[in-house]
Amino acid sequence: MMITGSKRSSRLPGSEIRSLLRHAGSRDIISLAGGHPRDELLPLQHLQEAVGRALTRFGRRSLQYGRTEGEAELRDWVCGYYQDRGIRVTPEQVLITSGSQQGLDLLARGLFDPGDPVYMNDPGYIGAIQAFQAAELVCQPWNFTSTPGSAPGNLYIVPNFANPTGESLPREVRRALLQSSHWIIADDPYGQISFCGPTSPWLPDIPIEDGPLILLGSGSKWLCPGLRIGWIVAPTALIELLGRLKQAADLQTSTLSQFTFLELAGLLPPEGARDLLVPVYRQQRDAMVTALKRYWDDDGAFRTPQGGFFLWLTLPEGWSAGDFAARALERGVAVVPGTAFALDRSRPGHPGTIRLSYSKETPEMIDRAIARLAEIL
Ligand SMILES: Cc1ncc(COP(=O)(O)O)c(C=O)c1O
């Protein structure tokens, strides 16, 4: 049988990162490619305890079907998370999702119609581009520096330490955008990994019930991605609508994962986890910056990231990102070419840039990787 799939699915490009990560998993490769937390920081022992606590506290409820919107206790926890950041959220405004990636998929299909534009940074988060394109939306470039404070249409933004550039959206632009009549989807998985003090998912004291702001949250980067816990915060009516779409997609997020996450977040609350993670990621960021200064010999090629997992590097004149990434792989280093983050894959932008992730490897390995990259030039 000839397998072609639907027109929609066959038009959808795969993620270059996922293909790269196949190589990156090999033991001989130093991976500066994925947005993975450092393995040693994944809280194995706390997780063992959290599963036990979840099973003791919730018993067979942990193993049963649950509510599509998410378990009440976890929705309450999400409200507390935002309350600690000065944002009032009610449980009815929360939908628990299977990672914030599912939030992007539900919003793409639940808020917009095929052909609708969504404005976002170019280069942009590849998973958002995929979710939007799967829903047949048109990703349009939006750069806050060229249109300060005004939204040309519905926006998708990573407000803190964006993937892939590491940049954050200034407070005054956040404030100005709230006057907009268009939706703003603010996706904030990296806010906890800050080298410059506490961040806000948007701004304190913002109203949720009347829009235009929709918040996406995730435990993937500061607890662990394997539990697949994320959430959407949005006006109640929208949560109800998205809940129906989620029902069709997966009925609910795993009950056991939700309760385990709840217990794990009790053992390692965001602030505590941040205290453990930030010094480690800061050291890794410093190792990358120091190595680039030592071997790369072009300070203007990057900005030092103030948080998150990524550094965006401009290659010397004349280098193609694809060729460079292929040569890097031959030398045992996985990096992602900037073209992978272009909104329009038919005319790939950012050909002279690469994304380097400092999240996964030790400072020593990062130093070795940058030295190898510099030898290519
Ligand atoms: C900007 C951004 N949003 C969302 C996600 C998806 O996160 P999750 O694991 O919660 O689905 C990622 C993962 O890398 C990301 O970088």
Is the pLDDT confidence value at 204 over 90?
yes
For the Cβ of 99 lying below 6 angstroms from any atom of ligand 1, the answer is yes
Residue 167: left if φ>0, alpha if ψ -120 to 50, beta else—which one? Answer: beta
Architecture of the domain delimited by 7-43+271-376? Alpha-Beta Complex (3.90)
- Please give the full DSSP string across 49-62, using - where no structure is assigned: HHHHHHHHHHGGGG
Pocket flag, ligand 1, residue 357 (CB < 6 Å): no
pLDDT tens-place string over residues 24-77: 666 689 999 989 999 999 999 999 999 999 999 999 999 999 999 999 999 999
Strand order in the sheet with 184-187: 94-98, 229-233, 213-218, 184-187, 155-157, 117-120, 138-141
pLDDT higher than threshold 80 for residue 148: no
- Multiple choice CATH, 45-269, 3.40.50.300, 3.40.440.10, 1.10.1240.10, 3.40.640.10: 3.40.640.10
**What's the pLDDT score for residue 15?**
67
Burial environment of residue 268 by CB neighbours within 10 A (0 to 12, 13 to 18, 19 or more): buried
pLDDT at 127 over 90: yes
Taking the C-alpha atoms of residue 253 and residue 162, their distance in angstroms, rounded to an integer, is 26
100 CB less than 6 Å from ligand 1? yes
219 lines ligand 1 (CB under 6 A): no
- Give the nearest ligand 1 atom to 187 CA: 3
Indicate the pLDDT class of residue 23, thresholds 50, 70 and 90: low
Q: Which of 15, 17, 125, 168 is the best mutation target for the ligand 1 pocket, counting ligand atoms within 8 Å of the beta carbon and taking the most?
A: 125
Ligand 1 center to 274 CA (angstroms): 17
Q: How far is the CA of 362 from the centre of ligand 1 (A)?
A: 22
Q: Rounded CA gap, 215 and 152, in Å?
A: 19
Which pLDDT belongs to residue 350? 82
Domain boundaries, the chain: 7-43+271-376, 45-269
Q: Which amino acid residue places its CA nearest to atom 6 of ligand 1? A: 101
Q: What is the pLDDT of residue 166?
A: 96
Task: Decide if pLDDT at 94 tops 70.
Answer: yes
CA distances from 131 to 112, 124, 128, 332, 343 (A): 12, 12, 5, 31, 12
User: 41 CB contacts (<8 Å, ≥6 apart)?
Assistant: 276, 277, 280
Q: In this predicted model, what pLDDT tens digit does every residue of 259-268 receive, in sequence order?
A: 999 999 999 9
Q: Is 139 in the pocket of ligand 1 (CB under 6 A)?
A: no
Q: Would you say the CB of residue 191 lies under 6 angstroms from ligand 1?
A: no
CB distance 368 to 30 below 8 Å? yes
* Contact indicator for 259, 54 with CB cutoff of 8 Å: yes
Which atom in ligand 1 lies closest to the alpha carbon of residue 162? 1
The per-residue pLDDT for 12 is: 77
370 or 350, greater pLDDT: 370
In ligand 1, the atom with minimum distance to the C-alpha of 225 is: 9
- Are 74 and 96 within 8 A, CB to CB? yes
pLDDT for position 25: 62
91 touches 239 (CB < 8 A): no
Calpha distance 13→184 (Å, rounded): 25
Ligand 1 centroid–CA 377 distance in Å is: 32
Confidence of residue 5 (pLDDT cuts 50, 70, 90): confident
Residue 142 backbone dihedrals phi, psi, to 5 degrees: -140, 130
Residue of 98, 121, 187, 360 to mutate, ligand 1, most atoms within 8 A of C-beta? 187
Q: Is 121 in the pocket of ligand 1 (CB under 6 A)?
A: no
Q: Cα separation of 281 and 37, whole Å?
A: 9
Residue nearest to atom 13 of ligand 1 (CA): 35
Instruction: Grade residue 11 by pLDDT with cuts at 50, 70 and 90.
Output: confident
CA torsion, points 118, 121, 127, 130, in degrees to nearest 10?
40
Phi-psi category of residue 203: left, alpha or beta, with phi > 0 → left and psi -120 to 50 → alpha: beta
103 lines ligand 1 (CB under 6 A): no
CB 105 near ligand 1, within 6 Å:
no
Ligand 1 atom closest to the CA of 125, numbered from 1: 1
CB of 175 within 8 A of CB of 203? yes
Least confident range of 21-30, 306-315, 325-334: 21-30
Question: What percentage of residues in the chain have a pLDDT greater than 70?
Answer: 95
